[in-house]
Amino acid sequence: MIEKYTQGYYIPNISRLAEVILKELDVPAEVDIQPLKIKTSNAISYVEGYASKYTPSEKAKYTIFIDTEILKMDELSDPMINLLIHEIWHIRQMECGWLRANTEYTVAVWNGIHFPMTIPHDKRPWEIEARMMEEKYFSHIKELI
Ligand SMILES: [Zn+2]
């Protein structure tokens, strides 16, 4: 269950949306939503966590960080649906072992192939796939919420 009272943010709509997407995308991980405090790039959201095989004693735990202004609105807008499909798909990629990164986050391994993180964000194959999943699941998720 996603914590609805996250650091002073009451986000019942976003939390429910995340639950729906986790279920529909068949991602059995524990996911927490937190405000994005440090803006390192132009990103409005990103996901962090460790796949269950690296923490075998407990269930996999991931945190999705989202821009505070977006969290405060707690809207079920179309961009919000796409944002969560995208980030939750990254969780699926990590849970399935398709995507791994080193701890310094300088190298990613995608389907056994090493990629330096210097490649542009929109050219990364796991990003291309996550964007494709936004398109694939958007209408279905919108119908469910
Ligand atoms: Zn992404």
CA pair distance 130, 120, nearest whole angstrom: 15
**Rounded distance from Cα 4 to ligand 1 centre (Å):** 23
CA pair distance 86, 46, nearest whole angstrom: 9
Neighbours of 33 (CB within 10 A): 23
**Rounded distance from Cα 45 to ligand 1 centre (Å):** 8
pTM, 2 dp: 0.88
- Up-side HSE of residue 33: CA atoms within 13 Å toward CB? 31
In single-letter form, the type of residue at position 48 comes to E
Q: What is the 3-state secondary structure (H, E, C) of 38-93?
A: CCCCCCCEEEEEECHHHCCCCCCEEEEEEEHHHHHHCCCCHHHHHHHHHHHHHHHH
**Rounded distance from Cα 108 to ligand 1 centre (Å):** 13
pLDDT tens digit at each of 145 positions of the chain: 555 555 667 899 999 999 999 999 999 888 999 998 776 666 788 888 766 665 556 667 899 999 988 999 999 999 999 999 999 999 999 988 899 887 777 899 999 999 998 999 899 999 999 999 999 999 999 999 9
Q: What is the pLDDT of residue 2?
A: 58
Residues that place a CB less than 5 A from ion ligand 1 = 127, 130
Its sign, for the CA torsion 110, 113, 115, 120, is: negative
Neighbours of 11 (CB within 10 A): 23
Q: What is the pLDDT of residue 10?
A: 86
Q: Are strands 5-6 and 9-10 parallel, antiparallel or unpaired?
A: antiparallel
Q: Where are the domains of the chain?
A: 5-144
**Rounded distance from Cα 129 to ligand 1 centre (Å):** 9
What are the angstrom distances between the C-alpha of 58 and each of 1, 61, 136?
A: 15, 8, 31
Strand, coil or helix: what is 119?
Answer: coil
